[in-house]
């Protein structure tokens, strides 16, 4: 299952908490920016939700693309996308998104994810691309050759 959420990815992560008082006790609560990010993700994920949560070990790939920064040069923009080496970090983006996937019943538990790939870019097409696939063993391909010519042929 692969789909693209057309949006400006949130920069608020699951660490965006504040301390509030409830009946005299201190408690952690989500900051308004995190609440808004969760609501946005829920609305965008809803049309893609499977009939039942996916089962078994899963591979999850997340690609976050933000619109180009105003300072991006024409030369950089011509590449189509470029790595974003600034906050938020990949692990926080993944955690927030995984939590929403569990809450929206895409997954039974985020512990099902045995392989996680997270990428973040500046680019032309802003959004979040989500790919969830059943895990499968990825065995290396071994080709036995007897000569250099066979090796070149095997590489083609």
Tell me the per-residue pLDDT of 84-109, one tens digit each, with 9 for 90 and over: 998 899 999 999 999 999 999 999 99
Look at residue 18 and tell me whether its pLDDT is greater than 70: yes
Strand pairing class (113-123; 58-67): parallel
Residue spans of the domains in the chain: they are 2-138
pTM of the model: 0.81
What is the rounded CA–CA span in Å between residue 93 and residue 15? 10
Q: Which residues are registered as beta bridge partners of 30? A: 17
Q: What is the pLDDT of residue 45?
A: 96
Q: What is the pLDDT of residue 136?
A: 82
Q: Out of 3.30.1330.70, 3.30.390.30, 3.90.110.10, 1.25.40.10, which CATH number does the structure's domain 2-138 have?
A: 3.30.1330.70
Q: Once rounded to an integer, what is the mean pLDDT over residues 143-151?
A: 67
What's the pLDDT tens digit per position in 36-60?
A: 999 999 999 999 999 999 999 999 9
Is residue 123 classed exposed, middle or buried when 0-12, 13-18 and 19+ CB atoms within 10 A define those classes? buried
């Amino acid at each position: 299952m692969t789909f693209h959420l057309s949006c400006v990815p949130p920069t608020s992560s699951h660490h965006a908490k504040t301390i509030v008082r409830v009946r005299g006790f201190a408690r952690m609560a989500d900051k308004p920016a995190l609440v808004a990010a969760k609501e946005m993700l829920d609305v965008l994920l809803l049309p893609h939700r499977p009939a039942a949560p996916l089962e078994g070990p899963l591979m999850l790939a997340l690609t976050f693309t933000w619109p180009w920064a105003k300072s991006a040069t024409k030369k950089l923009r011509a590449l189509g996308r470029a790595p974003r080496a600034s906050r938020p970090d990949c692990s926080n983006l993944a955690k927030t998104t995984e939590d929403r996937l569990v809450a929206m019943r895409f997954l039974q538990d985020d512990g099902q994810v045995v392989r996680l790939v997270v990428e973040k870019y500046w680019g032309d097409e802003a959004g979040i691309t989500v790919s969830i696939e059943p895990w499968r063993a990825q065995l290396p391909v071994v080709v036995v050759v007897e000569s250099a010519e066979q090796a070149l042929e095997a590489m083609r």
